[in-house]
Amino acid sequence: MAKATYKDAGVDLEVYAESMSRLPKLMQRTFSPRVMRLDGGFAGLFKLDFQNGLFKRSYDNPVLVSGTDGVGTKLKVAQLADRHDTVGIDLVAMCVNDIICCGAEPLFFLDYVAMSHDDPEALEQVVQGISDGCVDADCALLAGETAIMPDLYQHGDYDLAGFCVGVVEQDELIDGSSIVADDVVIGVEASGLHSNGFSLVRKVVFEIAELSVDDHVEQLGATVGEALLTPTRIYARPLQKILSYYKVKKVVHGIAHITGGGLQENLERIMPSDVTALIQRDSWDVLPIFDWIQELGEIEDDEMDKVFNRGCGLTLVVSPFYAENIQRMLKRSGLKSWVIGKVQAGDGSVRWS
């Protein structure tokens, strides 16, 4: 009788070790002086403050802010295109962009990668993207987990989950409660689809239109794969610059990350019950990829509004006097922005005007 081995069950420990050997350099490039090295340990260590007086934060009442997310079925497009680095950036962006809505500074990130089989090349690409995203967000890729589960995933499939922790002083926490009538809503440009609505996108592009990832789309100046895999924009650095500049005045009253549910649903999450935001349709630039998908699938406007960011990936609700300067700061960070709405007395809703 043959003796069973882990390799026979679908997990090759030698290949797994090779995969793991490729990752430390991708993590270490994201480390700040607050990371405490624990090579070979079972956890990651992170100091909340710097010892160096020049950089010391000297927190009075710090609040830890955490978030977790995934990339969704955008991973299926990455697998079709056999390109896995951009979804790593998406993973970081989806988590980081959530916690910065509270005004938090991202501190560290952890990832979970579940794969059907050991694939050192694909894993390295994924973690390269995660590492790139962490560098962009100024947070440390502190630790992670890679699980090989051949009986749970079809060959070539994998899934990603991310977890991010940040910090903010309690009296600088942004939760939308300070939004008042006459505030204005600034929309900040998205890089593309980001990481939402891909079940609908894949149905339209690959089933209805019967396109492949290698087909060139003249309207977009890119292949299908290139257009769909454009990574989610990370807003951490531009936002930190704004919040640091207005640390005393606190003119940013609310921040919403525009993901699944669209602008209306996500902005409503931070609106106090006594005000309403009126959003002016056509006040920002809708990216060509949204028009292309809408035309391919003959999708109704209401459905597009509910599913996608439509070119506006983040919104800031700010005091009107400071809106113009905030837009100038965003422009200096390389981001387009628009005043897309205004707050008035109301019932906590967000409506189109």
Q: For residue range 195-223, what is the model confidence (pLDDT) as tens digits?
A: 999 999 999 999 999 999 999 999 999 99
In this prediction, what percent of the chain has a pLDDT beyond 90? 88
Residue 256 is predicted with a pLDDT of 98
Q: 3-state DSSP call for residue 198?
A: helix
Q: What is the 3-state secondary structure (H, E, C) of 245-298?
A: HCCCCCCEEEEEECCCCHHHHHHHCCCCCCEEEEECCCCCCCCHHHHHHHHHHC
**What is the length of the chain?**
353
Instruction: Reply yes or no on whether the pLDDT at 1 is more than 80.
Output: no
Model confidence pLDDT, tens digit, residues 64-121: 999 999 999 999 999 999 999 999 999 999 999 999 999 999 999 999 999 999 999 9
Per-residue pLDDT, 78: 98
- Which CATH code fits 13-172? 3.30.1330.10
Give Dmax over CA atoms of the chain in angstroms. 80
Q: Record the tokens describing residue 292, joined without a space.
A: 């292309």
pLDDT tens profile 223-261? 999 999 999 999 999 999 999 999 899 999 999 999 999
Report pLDDT for 322: 98
Asked whether residue 56 carries a pLDDT value surpassing 90, the answer given is no
pLDDT value of position 197: 96
Whole-number pLDDT of residue 200:
98
| Confidence band for 270, pLDDT divided at 50, 70 and 90 | very high
Q: Is 188 left (phi over 0), alpha (psi -120 to 50) or beta?
A: beta
Q: How far apart are CA 224 and CA 236, in angstroms?
A: 28
Nearby residues of 98 by Cβ (< 8 Å), 6 or more positions away: 67, 69, 164, 257
Is 53's pLDDT higher than 80? Answer: no
State residue 13's pLDDT score: 86
Mean of the pLDDT values across residues 26-40? 91
Query: What is the CA angle 47-50-53, rounded to 5?
Result: 160
pLDDT for 236 equals 98
Instruction: Give the mean model confidence (pLDDT) for residues 136-155.
Output: 95
Rounded Cα distance between 282 and 121, Å, is 43
**Alpha carbon of residue 15 to chain centroid:** 31
Could you give the C-alpha distances from 124 to 12, 23, 77, 83, 170, in angstroms and in order? 17, 7, 18, 11, 38
Mapping DSSP to helix (H, G, I), strand (E, B) and coil, where does residue 96 land?
A: helix
Instruction: List the chain domain ranges.
Output: 13-172, 184-352
Give the integer Cα–Cα distance in Å for 350 and 353: 10
H or E stretch at 104:
none
Alpha carbon 234 to chain centroid distance?
6
Give the CATH superfamily of 184-352: PurM-like C-terminal domain (3.90.650.10)
- Give me the phi and psi of 81, to 5 degrees please: -85, -10
